[in-house]
Structures are given as structure tokens and as C-alpha cells.
Structure 1
Amino acid sequence: MSNNNPLIDYPDLPPFSAIKPEHVLPAVEQLVADGRARIQAVLAAGNFDYAHLVQALDEEDDRLGKAFGPAGHLNAVAQDDALRNAYNSCLPLLSEYGTEVGQNAALCAAFQSLRDSDEWGSLSEAQQKDLENTLRDFRLSGVDLPDDKKAEYMANSKRLSELTSKFSDNVLDATQAWTKQVTDEAELDGLPESAKAGAADRAAADGKDGWVLTLDAPVFIAVMSHCKNADLRKEMYTAWTTKASDQGPNAGEFDNAALMDEILALRHKQAGLLGFANYGEKSLATKMARDVQEVTVFLEDLAKRAKPQAEQELAELKAFAAEQGAEDLQPWDIGFWSERLREARYSISEEELRPWFPADTVINGMFGIVGKLFGIKFEKREDVDTWHDDVRFYELVDDDGSVRAAFYLDMYARTGKRGGAWMDDARIRRRRPDGSLQTPVAYLTCNFAPPAGGKPGLLTHDEVVTLFHEFGHGLHHMLTEQDVSGISGINGVAWDAVELPSQFLENWCWTEEGIALISSHYETGEPLPKDKLDKMLAAKNFQSAMQMVRQIEFSLFDMRIHAEYQDGLSIQEVLDEVREQVSVIQPPAFNRFPNSFGHIFAGGYAAGYYSYKWAEVLSSDAFSRFEEEGEFNEATGREFRSAILAMGGSREPMDLFKAFRGREPSVEPLLRHCGING
């Protein structure tokens, strides 16, 4: 297509076709050395005004990000052994550099001197917020500790890194240690053909007859949801829920129990060194929620509202199963009979809906929805270097004709591409030292089935929701109006608020007008039939209360073990107490779920798992204003853009939310959207 905007808009987009694995480490080594030299030069000069301190160091960070970022992206979407080795070789160097900067007391003092100077009053609100965040992060790295405590903090950090990595390794090893060979096809009765074919391929690869089942999530879910063999479901449930523990088929071999105890103890010590009463408090220092009590009250209130309906949903499931002859419903039966009840009640499946969601129709419809809401349009460009022929590059054009941002869209699964879906920044919006503006560029990555058999790419509705979710993150990054790197786009946004735009945009996948824009049969062009639409919408909230109390169980457990930690704390006892309080399904005594709960023991969700539900409240309530004023109300859409998307991390998320909604968030819209009447 023609495009009047010259490519000089993007003088520093990555030259993907020219990047070689052997380029990566030398470039990072040089840029880290440059970063160290710049810090030393800034400190030696002693001129700690905004331009010579913040902007000078930001320029180095941007250079490093633009060099290593594309290598990291390629490692995720087009990996081979050479690139993976090159990427991994950089990680220790970057980790060391980041720790070194965070612990640099002289650098922290320089930032503090700027905060204390007369110039502070002339800085913009965004610049002040960024500087406050920087000083906070220095202190959360232990920069102010005396030398002995700083050494202890550093040693604890190193040990925690080892422990959390070992936790993940144990879970992976335990997962891979269990397989089951099946030679009688009757034992797999009910298993979808695709899952059965995968099990046959695994058997062939292992040189065995029949089928080999594993604890890989898709295999486990397929068996638990569809296999009629209750004994097989029980065997797999037992193996799944005892991974990396003292129970089950590999009892004691990969046990994470001692690691979990040490992880909690060290986190508690780290929090104490920094002056917090517990790790829960430390975690919340960078989040929207004010304190542990607010999170606990929030979760317990949700549980109180959802649990009665969850109990009713479970009773209905038990009654349905009993009618089919399964009167003693066990935990390994829940998934199987839930699927049978869903089919009986709604007569609809994801596979049945695929023909009405061809990828191009969904993309163009999504652009149309976003255009109606936020006053923007999208133009495809053909003259940008990408990493694969499937990748598209679009410009985001404002209603005044200016190019506000751009993004790469990589839709389909392929060899060498990491699974899942995500948004990442290729380039952030920032004001350069020369006064010019760097426009933001995003990566939007999904893993949908590619076009095959002469048909276009056809998406399930779940995949459509995933695309909208990631595009919501992308809009947060691209529609920012902040010129300061640290609070531009999603930067500086509290962990428990960053999902607001992504979850918010999902709502248009569930409105009749929205669905009409993103769907049409790939062969006939006909709209989604009313009966299928009605069934799809009716099934939206199937067992939603049971799902909610399970998420609340995880969240309360996570917060309690971190906020109530003391020597001798029993992780299992806390979980048992939480389950007694909020759960409707009590698992068997051998269940060791915490031993593989990587989100909190090896990921970024420690004392933060509640964030999933917290952000859902914000997104549901924000959407409820559109329900009141019109799902495509132009004025409301522009206000969401200016109050939320444009602001990035420049102000506290509660202030931004109240600016849009006119009040603090209410939980009622979430309950209503989930069909919970509590």
C-alpha cells in the first residue's frame, strides 16, 4: 500500500535480517562498559541537574535496551541454538550490572540531591514521579543499608536467586519424570483425537507401543476433561498434585518443601532489613493496594460473595454426575463431569465457532472497535524489516493524521517460537536530549494455528479474547503521552493495575455489536448465527464462582504465608485454613499444590497473586461506564484514552481510575459480569 510517511520516522528500528548471534554478546559487553563509564563520568562531573543526571543515564539505558531487546525478542520468536547460547551468555553480565547500579550509593545520593534541589519545583509532575520511583527502587535494593547489612542483603539475594531457580528445576524434573504407557486404546476412551495422536507420537519417539501420557499441561487437561477412565484420571491427578513433594509416585525425589521454607525465611529477612514488618508489606511498596489488610479484606469480601454460588454450582455438578451414575464425585472427576455438564447445558464448543473468526476479519474488526473508541486508525507498511514473512507492521495514526506509534504483529505458531501470547516494547516513547520525540513501537505476539489446507487462519473465541487482551497492553504502551522513560506507557505502572487496559479491551469480545465487527464466516461471509451467539454468551460464566473462589484461595494463601511468616510456619497448615474458609472443593490429604506453585515461589507474584482479581475489579468497573453511556460512546472512549492510556505511570493508578470513573472502584460490576449474585 502507499504510505506518505517516510521511513525516517523509524531510523533505529532493529535490522532483524542482519542480526547474527555472534553480534549479541560483544554489543552488550560494550554497552555495559559504556553504561559504567557514563555513570562514573556523571558522578565525577558532580552536575546533578535533570539533564546531566536523569537524561544522560536514560540515554545509556535506551541504547542498551535497543541492542539487547531485539536479541531477546528474537530468542523468543525465532530461536535456534546459537541465538539461545548468545542470549543466555548475556544474562549474568546484565544481572551483575543491574545489581551494581541498584546498590550504587553515590548514584542514589546524586538522585537525592536533585530531589532536594531548587530544580525539583520546576520539574513536571511526570518527571517528579519518575524521580520518586527511582529513589524508592534504590532503597528497595538495600542501597541505604550499612555495609554489613548490605552484604547480608546481597548474600540473601544471591541465595534466593539460587533457591527459586532450583524450585523451578525441581518442578520441571518432577513433571518430566512421570510418564504412563497405555497399550489398550479402550483406556483412553473419550480422549480427543488430537490428544491421542500426540500421545501416540510420544510413544513412537520413546520407542514404545501404544500411547505415552505425560504431565505436560495440555495432556493433563485433556485427560482430566475428557477421558472416561476414572482410574486413569485419578492416577494422573495424583501425579500432578504431588509434583516436587514428599507424596506421590516420585515421593521425595524432587521435594521442594525445604526450599519453600528457606525462600519464605529469606524473604522475611530481606523485608526486615529494609524496615518492613513482613514480605507482604515489602511487596506492596510498589503496588496499588495500600497494605496487607486492604488486600485481605478485598479477597475475603469477594469470597463471601462468590462462595454461596460456588457451592450451588458444585451441588448442580454433583447432581448431574449422579444422574449419569457417578454418585461419589472425587476431585479427579470434577473436570470430566464439568465438561459433560457444559455440553449438555449449552450445546456449543470452541471448535464449532472457529469458521466465524478468520484472523483478518478479527484483526480488522478489532481495529474498527479501537478506532471507534479512541479516534485512531491503522495503516499497514510493507517497507519494514521483520524476522518472518508472517509478521506485519502497522502504524497507529491519530485523527489529526499524525503517526503516534507502530507495532509488529506476529500471530502464528511456528518452530523456534516460544508459546503463549505477550506484548513487549520495541521502543518506548521518550523525549531525547536534543528535544526530538521518540515514538513508541510495540511487539504483539500470539501463537495461533497458522493458515492450512487452503483455509485462512481461523481463531477460537478464546484466542480472539487473547488477541484483544494483548492489544490492550499494546494500546497502553502506544497511546501514552508521557515523554519520560520511567513512566512512559506501562513503565512505572503498579503491578496490580497494569492489567486494567488489557482486561478492559476484552469486554468488546462479549458484546453483540463488538462480535458483529470481528466475525463473519470465512467462506460465505455470513454473520455469526443468532443461536450460536446466544449459546456462546450463555456459556460465558459457566462455573464462574467456582473458578473465582479457587483464585481467591491461591491469593489469600500467597498473602498469608508472606505477611504472617514466623519461624516454624507450616505452609500446609495455612493452606488448609484458607481452604476451609473459602474453598468448596477440599482436595485429598496427599495434595501438595504449593510445591509446584511457581508463580509465588519462583516467579514475580510473591505476595502479589491477588493482582489478577484486583485488576479485574478495575477493568469491569471501567467498562460498566460504557454500559451506562454506550459501548461505543465516543466521548467516553476519548476520556478513557486521556485518563488511563495516555497517563502511563505518571500518577498513582487510583487517582487515574477516579479521574475516569468519578469514584473509587466498585466490585459490583465484576460480580455482575461474572454472573455472581453474591
Structure 2
Amino acid sequence: MFEEFNVNNLEKMKELLEIKLKESKEQIEKLLDLENKTYDNFVKPYQEIGEYINEFLTPMFHIDSVKNTEITTKVHEECLPLISNYSTELSQNVNIYRALKDIQDNGNTSLNNIQKKVLENEIRDFELSGCHLNNNLKNRLKEINLRQSELSHKFSQNLLNATNSYEMIIEDYEDVKEIPESDLELAKFEEDDKIKYKFTLQMPSYVAYITYGTNRGKREEIYKAYCTRAPENGKIIEEILALKDEKSKILGFDSYAQYSLSTKMAKTEDEVIDFLYELAKKGKVGGKNEVEEIKEFAKKDGIEELKSFDLSYYSEKLKKEKYDFDEELYRPYFEKESVLKGFFEFLNSIFDIEFKVSNTPTWDEKATAYDIFENGKLSSKIYIDLESRKDKRGGAWMNNWHSYYVDKHNNTHLPTAYIVCNFPQSTKDTKSLLRHSDVVTLFHEMGHALHHLLSKVPEPFVSGISGVAWDTVEFPSQFLEYFSYDKTVLKQFAKHYKTGEILSDEAIDKIIKARNFQSSLNMIRQVEFALFDFKLHQKLYKNEEDVQKLLNEIRDEISIIKPPIYNKFQNGFSHIFGGGYAAGYYSYKWAEVLSADAYYMFIESENTFNKELALKYKKAILEKGGSSDMNELFFEFAQREPSVDSLLKIDGIIS
């Protein structure tokens, strides 16, 4: 039923890929030779060819992220030009474009809305790929696309290498005395008959020291190492920006930001900028008050000038004092396996989906596959890999592998996806104990996964997350996040891993109250990143100095606590330079308006386990994938337009 994960032929991947791409081109040529092209005999098989290539490629890209080696990097770099050339040639094939246009023009009465959406998206994307241009410009776009792919991968690889190359060794216990026992155990090692502690830029290790490290000098040392990683990425950014600007101009857009919005829910640059400034304005007063509170608190330690590397440390202390909330004390209640089990039970209770461990190969002993059943029927598969490793790219993400669709022979294909995180490691003696913030991350990524896995759209190009506008793709992930703060939900899995004791109501209340701790400051930080990203792509910034100047200007205007001059945040901004968020980072907040408003309906119903409402959401949003614009699907679910006030209320920014 499901294809098994297998990269045993990694060394032969280039050769195998060349064969697959050649076969695909031949199949497309046969489709183009058809005299009377219809949706069923042309568009349907054309989509299946695309799925076939994606299904073959995904494990290769995936293994490079989760088990990175010199071989995976080499294979990735070998295959990238083949994929880029193939994709560009395909997207610029004027014969496919004309065929799709003809089918669209001739099929208006016979096509259903989902089929019309497929054609609408594909025709738009062909036009955005320059299929209407002369051969010289087409060739230049081909070169640009290939170079962009190479640079994005290089950006991410530089960041991974820099992250892995740094170690901070501490010998004095006084410098680590506040660090939680589980983190300290992972950091501890013995050398020359002496106990020492090693901290790295891997996220769990970095967070442990920047949040709990007693020695201020050491906090600055690791902070500086983190925010000055991969300085060589500065030159890569210059070239990426120049290529994106050139591509946009070739395609008839004034800027990359304008080009980016052509596929998004937001329609104008002013709409995005105004939205971000509205959030900044509403969060500024609260953010200033929050920073003043930290500054006053830090003065008790004799800190007269609060620095960026002090922020996490004193914020955590203040939160502990203010709410009697110490995230570390909760970790024994969030053991990884217990969390997963309870989380699955919760999802079953609201969405009627059941997770069962699948006896199928994975890429690491810590990764597990699960079959998902709906109403007793197998419907999808998910691979979950939660613990950090040195050979794994940092961060957390969901990646789709197979899509749900019905093929030309009326066979139903079932979807698969991966969830990857970087939670604390387990050993034979130590369980993986999560922070509540890790639990929130898990809910977030599962929201993405369910959006893909629960799709019931028969056309692969708009099934699951395919075809979903980029600035609304975060809606289902952020929506599910909200449930990770609900008392009834937490009681499903917040159990002490040794005693089985359920986390008390009082303890959970502290998590809920602490949720909005520094919510204005956090919002301002996200707005700062989003404005930097969007403005960076509104015109061409030609060199590192200009990029830094823009970031400084935005910090002067937006930031409440300014980072030090050496902070080169941009060199690690992988969302926009190593991922797909360029001129789209604003989408996190844009989609959050939808997610908060959807969750507010559960609040108003006074029942988190409101199954009727959850199934309505599942049917209107999750099952529909990209088959309609998200604003239409949201209206179908909520029967009204979304309101920004729900977000600000939930975050405690307005009452």
C-alpha cells in the first residue's frame, strides 16, 4: 500500500534520477502528441508524472537534512542541476502551457471547481516561469533558477557546518550550577580525570546555556558565536538578492516582493506593510513595559545595562518569580513517548483518527513510522523523528512525501509525510524530556502534517498542502498549537515519567498564565523579522553593508531592545535564504489571524473537545487542501471574515 523509505542506492541516485527524468520527458511528449487533449487524458496524467518525480526525489532531500554526511551533500549537489534544469524546462514549455490554456478555454462548462483550480494555478505558474518569453530570456531564467538552488543549499550547509564546529567547554561548576539536571547530564564529560561541560550551537544545548547559564561572560560568548555563524553567507545573500531581483524584472515585476505576492492571499505590498505596522503599533507599548520589567529585575543582580545575551536568562528568572513557573520543572511530565501517546489520543478524540506504529524501515533508530486510520480504515502514514543529532539540520519542520489523489485508473493513492524536530536526546539511561515549548512545536508541525495527510482532494496538484497560498499555509499548524495550552488536553499526556503522577491543575494554570509572558515583545520580534524580509525584497540591496543598514533601520524603528552591532542575524535567516519564505515571512502573522480566530470559536463554545466544531474544521479546512482559496474555506468554516482582534485577545495584548 505504501512505498517504503529507502535510500540504499544513494551513490547511484544521479544515474537513477537521469533515467526517471528521461522517462518523464518521454511521457510528457506522448501527452503533447495527443490530438484531442482533455482534462482526463492530458491534465490528469500530467499531474501524475509530477507526483512520480516528487515521490522519487523527496527521500533524497530528506536524508540530506536528517542524516547529513559528505555523501548526502555530494549526491544533493550532483542532483540539484538535473532537477533545476528539468523543472525550468518543464515550466517554460510553451506547448504544455498552450494545451492547458486550450483545456481551460474549452472546458469551462464540463470541469468541476477543483479541476478549474488546478488549471488556474498551473497556467499562472507557467506564466510566472516565463514560458511566454524568448529563448534567450528563458535560458537566463534557467541559469538563475539553478544558481538560486545551489546558493540556498550552500547557505544551509554553511549554517549547519558552523553550528557543528563550535564548542564551549566549561570546567567550573559555578558557571553551570543553574542549568537543569537533564541538560547538564547531556553536557557533562570527563577529561584528564576532571568533570567538564560542553555546550554547542545545537538548539537544545544553546538554549540551555543562554537561558540558565550563570556566567554572564559565557552567555555572551555562546550568544556571539550563535549570531555570528557563517559570515560567508553574507556574500551568498548578495548573490541571492541580485538573482531574485533579476528574475522578477525578467518576468515583468518591479520587485521580488511584488512577484512573491502574485501567488499569495495578500494582494498588495502596502497591504502587507500596513498589516505589520498595525501589529507593531498595537504591541509597542506592551513591549516597552515588558522590557522595563526585565531591566528592573536584572538590576537586582547589579546589571545596569541589559544586553541581548541577558534577555533569555533574566526573562526566565522573572517568569519563574512572577508566575512561579520554571519550564524545567515540567520536563519530567513531558516525556517524549508519553506526550506522543496522549497527543495521538487527543487527535483521535476530536478528528476520529487513530495512530498505530508501523513496522516499516526508517532512517534512524529514533525515528518511528505510524499508520493513520480514519474510522477504522487506513488513510495515511507519518514518519516522526523528534530528537536532535549532530548530523541533523537544526529547527523543526514537516515535509510531504506522497499526496492523496485518485489516478487516471480510478485508484486512490494515500498520503505520507515526515515530522522532524530537535528535542533533547535520549540515551540508554536518560529519557527525552521535553519542555512545554517543545510540546508546542510538536503540535505546530502536526498541524502541518494533518493538513496534508487528511486531504480528500482527488487532484494531486491541489491536494494537501499543494496549491495552498504561502501566506495561509501556517494556519492549520498555528491553530493546533493553541490546544497545547489547554488544561484538558495537557492532562491527556502530562504525566511524570517515573511516578505516573498527572500534572496538577495549579501547575497547568501556571503554563497557561505564562503563555502570554512577553507576548508583545515576541510579536514585535516577529514583526521585525517580517519587515526586514519584505522590505529587503522591495528593491535591490546590492551588498552586505546595505543589507545590514536596512536591518539596523528596522531595528531602530521597531526593536525595543537592540542587539549588539556584531549580531549578523541575516546570515542565519534560513527561512528566507535557505527555505521558501523570501518576501513571505509575514505569513506567520498573517496566517495566525486565521488560526486564532478559528480557535476562538472553540473558546466561545466553552469546550476544547467540541467534536462537532472540530469535524467541521476537518471537513472545511483540512480535507480541502489547496482546492479553494483559504479565505473561501475559512468563510465556509466560520461563516464570517477573520478578525485580527481574536489574535490580540488570545495573546493578551488587548482585552
TM-score by length of structure 2 reads 0.89
* CA distance 1:404–1:151, shift in 2 (3 Å): closer
The answer to whether the aligner puts 1:614 opposite 2:596 as a matched pair is no
| Deviation of the 1:242 alpha carbon | 4.5
| Deviation of the 1:315 alpha carbon | 0.7
Q: Name which of structure 1's ranges 543-552 and 447-456 shifts more when overlaid on structure 2.
A: 447-456
* CA distance 1:176–1:666, shift in 2 (3 Å): same
Counterpart of 2:349 in structure 1: which amino acid? Answer: K
* CA distance 1:414–1:184, shift in 2 (3 Å): closer
| Deviation of the 1:621 alpha carbon | 0.9
Q: Deviations over 1:152-185 (max 9, x none)?
A: 4334444544555555566567667876666666
One of 96, 112, 126 as aligned partner of 1:138: 126
Q: Name which of structure 1's ranges 50-59 and 125-134 shifts more when overlaid on structure 2.
A: 50-59
* CA distance 1:593–1:456, shift in 2 (3 Å): closer
| Deviation of the 1:211 alpha carbon | 6.5
CA contact (8 A) 2:81 2:146 kept: no
The answer to whether the aligner puts 1:63 opposite 2:39 as a matched pair is no
* CA distance 1:270–1:14, shift in 2 (3 Å): same
Gaps spanning 5+ residues in structure 1: where?
Answer: 1-9, 246-253
The answer to whether the aligner puts 1:154 opposite 2:142 as a matched pair is yes
CA contact (8 A) 1:380 1:392 kept: no
* CA distance 1:185–1:366, shift in 2 (3 Å): closer
Aligned to 2:489: 514
Q: Deviations over 1:312-360 (max 9, x none)?
A: 0011111111133222223332232222212222333333223323444
Aligned to 1:472: 447
State how far apart, in whole Å, the 2-side matches of 1:172 and 1:442 are.
Answer: 23
CA contact (8 A) 2:85 2:142 kept: no
Counterpart of 1:601 in structure 2: which amino acid? Answer: F
Secondary structure, counterpart of 1:541 in structure 2: coil
Gaps spanning 5+ residues in structure 2: where?
Answer: none
One of 4, 10, 13 as aligned partner of 1:21: 10
- Structure showing greater radius of gyration is 1
State how far apart, in whole Å, the 2-side matches of 1:381 and 1:596 are.
Answer: 36
| Deviation of the 1:553 alpha carbon | 0.8
Aligned to 2:549: 573
State how far apart, in whole Å, the 2-side matches of 1:601 and 1:386 are.
Answer: 29
CA contact (8 A) 1:27 1:67 kept: no
| Deviation of the 1:85 alpha carbon | 4.8
* CA distance 1:21–1:570, shift in 2 (3 Å): closer
| Deviation of the 1:403 alpha carbon | 3.4
State how far apart, in whole Å, the 2-side matches of 1:484 and 1:535 are.
Answer: 46
State how far apart, in whole Å, the 2-side matches of 1:358 and 1:194 are.
Answer: 12
Aligned to 2:381: 406
TM alignment of 1:227-246, pairs within 5 A: 227-243=213-229
| Deviation of the 1:531 alpha carbon | 2.5
State how far apart, in whole Å, the 2-side matches of 1:172 and 1:413 are.
Answer: 13
State how far apart, in whole Å, the 1-side matches of 2:205 and 2:344 are.
Answer: 35
One of 78, 83, 91 as aligned partner of 2:80: 91
| Deviation of the 1:234 alpha carbon | 3.9
Aligned to 2:248: 271
CA contact (8 A) 1:24 1:87 kept: no
Aligned to 1:642: 619
One of 275, 294, 301 as aligned partner of 2:271: 294
Secondary structure, counterpart of 1:287 in structure 2: coil
Counterpart of 1:613 in structure 2: which amino acid? Answer: K
Aligned to 1:631: 608
Secondary structure, counterpart of 2:109 in structure 1: helix
CA contact (8 A) 2:80 2:150 kept: no
| Deviation of the 1:509 alpha carbon | 1.4
Aligned to 1:491: 466
TM alignment of 1:68-467, pairs within 5 A: 68-77=57-66, 85-86=74-75, 88-116=77-105, 118-161=106-149, 163-164=151-152, 167-168=155-156, 190=178, 217-243=203-229, 254=232, 256=234, 259-374=236-351, 376-378=352-354, 380=356, 384=360, 386=362, 392-399=368-375, 401-412=376-387, 420-449=395-424, 458-467=433-442
Q: Deviations over 1:468-501 (max 9, x none)?
A: 2222222211221200000001111111111111
State how far apart, in whole Å, the 1-side matches of 2:565 and 2:371 are.
Answer: 55
The answer to whether the aligner puts 1:672 opposite 2:652 as a matched pair is no
CA contact (8 A) 2:183 2:205 kept: yes
* CA distance 1:363–1:218, shift in 2 (3 Å): closer
CA contact (8 A) 1:449 1:457 kept: yes
CA contact (8 A) 1:24 1:68 kept: no
* CA distance 1:235–1:146, shift in 2 (3 Å): same
* CA distance 1:518–1:241, shift in 2 (3 Å): closer
Secondary structure, counterpart of 1:490 in structure 2: coil
Counterpart of 2:85 in structure 1: which amino acid? Answer: E
CA contact (8 A) 1:264 1:565 kept: yes
Secondary structure, counterpart of 1:563 in structure 2: coil
State how far apart, in whole Å, the 1-side matches of 2:12 and 2:151 are.
Answer: 32
Secondary structure, counterpart of 1:657 in structure 2: helix
Q: Name which of structure 1's ranges 401-410 and 621-630 shifts more when overlaid on structure 2.
A: 401-410
Q: Name which of structure 1's ranges 179-188 and 477-486 shifts more when overlaid on structure 2.
A: 179-188
State how far apart, in whole Å, the 2-side matches of 1:67 and 1:503 are.
Answer: 30
Secondary structure, counterpart of 1:36 in structure 2: helix
Aligned to 1:251: none
CA contact (8 A) 1:378 1:394 kept: no
CA contact (8 A) 2:77 2:150 kept: no
Q: Name which of structure 1's ranges 614-623 and 141-150 shifts more when overlaid on structure 2.
A: 141-150
CA contact (8 A) 2:80 2:149 kept: no
Aligned to 1:34: 23
One of 585, 588, 597 as aligned partner of 2:573: 597
Secondary structure, counterpart of 1:557 in structure 2: helix
CA contact (8 A) 1:450 1:457 kept: yes
Q: Deviations over 1:4-59 (max 9, x none)?
A: xxxxxx1xx22447944356444322211100111222223344211232122223
Q: Name which of structure 1's ranges 643-652 and 413-422 shifts more when overlaid on structure 2.
A: 413-422
Q: Determine what percentage of the aligned residue pairs are the same residue.
A: 37
CA contact (8 A) 1:14 1:70 kept: no
Aligned to 2:32: 43
One of 509, 514, 524 as aligned partner of 1:549: 524
CA contact (8 A) 1:544 1:676 kept: yes
Q: Deviations over 1:109-159 (max 9, x none)?
A: 22222222x224311111111111111111221221123333343344445
| Deviation of the 1:591 alpha carbon | 3.9
CA contact (8 A) 1:476 1:501 kept: yes
| Deviation of the 1:597 alpha carbon | 2.9
* CA distance 1:349–1:617, shift in 2 (3 Å): same
Q: Deviations over 1:233-261 (max 9, x none)?
A: 4445445444566xxxxxxxx472x5544
Q: Name which of structure 1's ranges 376-385 and 178-187 shifts more when overlaid on structure 2.
A: 178-187
* CA distance 1:373–1:239, shift in 2 (3 Å): closer
Q: Name which of structure 1's ranges 309-318 and 56-65 shifts more when overlaid on structure 2.
A: 56-65
* CA distance 1:204–1:320, shift in 2 (3 Å): same
State how far apart, in whole Å, the 1-side matches of 2:203 and 2:539 are.
Answer: 32
CA contact (8 A) 2:419 2:449 kept: yes
Q: Name which of structure 1's ranges 91-100 and 507-516 shifts more when overlaid on structure 2.
A: 91-100
State how far apart, in whole Å, the 2-side matches of 1:393 and 1:255 are.
Answer: 35
Secondary structure, counterpart of 1:570 in structure 2: helix
